[in-house]
């Protein structure tokens, strides 16, 4: 990994962590509203962003999640799965807006993984937990589409991480 990609990945991870900490009370419950999830849209612009996002999720869950080690497996696993599906889908889905919508759907649906974790650890009802987690994820991801689109016009995410 070249210096520029490494630096940008570190910045993305740091931003993910900082935003998660900022709203920590609503980042880890069964009503997850983790605003830092908006960074998941970066993989639509360049798959190299996955590294920074996953590192950000890992560190956030390692140091700040009340679910501890479980969140490293379930939370990081869910991120890797959803990001991977979005990256893979780029072969078939053209257009950034369409890919961001697909990304939103994928992340919303895969929140069942987080719901399983919360159900196992806190005995909350699985379907209700999935509904709340998915609703929070959908809200963050959907609302952040225009923001990420506007930022991309100013920053050009695709070229920002390229070496």
Cα separation, 89 vs 77, whole angstroms = 18
pTM: 0.93
Q: What is the model's pLDDT at position 77?
A: 97
For the chain, what are the domain ranges? 3-160
Q: What is the model's pLDDT at position 26?
A: 66
Q: What is the model's pLDDT at position 57?
A: 96
Exposure b/e, 67-90, CB count within 10 A at least 16 = b: beebbbebbbbbbeebbebbbeee
Tens-place pLDDT, residues 28-50: 666 677 899 999 999 999 999 99
Q: What is the model's pLDDT at position 49?
A: 97
CA quadruple 106, 108, 110, 114: dihedral sign: positive
CA quadruple 106, 110, 114, 115: dihedral sign: positive
Flag residues of the chain having pLDDT under 70. Answer: 1, 25-31, 163
Please tell me the CATH code under which domain 3-160 is placed: 1.10.1760.20
């Amino acid at each position: 990994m070249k210096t520029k990609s490494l630096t940008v990945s570190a910045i993305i991870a740091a931003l993910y962590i900082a935003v998660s900490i900022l709203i920590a009370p609503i980042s880890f419950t069964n009503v997850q509203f983790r605003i830092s999830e908006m960074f998941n849209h970066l993989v639509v612009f360049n798959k190299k962003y996955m590294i920074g996002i996953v590192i950000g999720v890992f560190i956030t869950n390692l140091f700040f999640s009340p679910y501890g080690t479980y969140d490293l497996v379930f939370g990081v696993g869910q991120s890797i799965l959803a990001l991977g599906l979005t990256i893979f889908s780029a072969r078939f889905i053209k257009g950034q807006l369409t890919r961001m919508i697909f990304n939103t759907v994928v992340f919303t649906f895969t929140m069942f993984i987080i719901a399983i974790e919360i159900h196992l650890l806190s005995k909350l009802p699985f379907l209700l937990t999935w509904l709340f987690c998915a609703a929070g994820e959908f809200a963050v991801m959907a609302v952040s589409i225009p923001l990420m689109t506007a930022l991309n016009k100013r920053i050009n995410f695709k070229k920002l991480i390229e070496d």
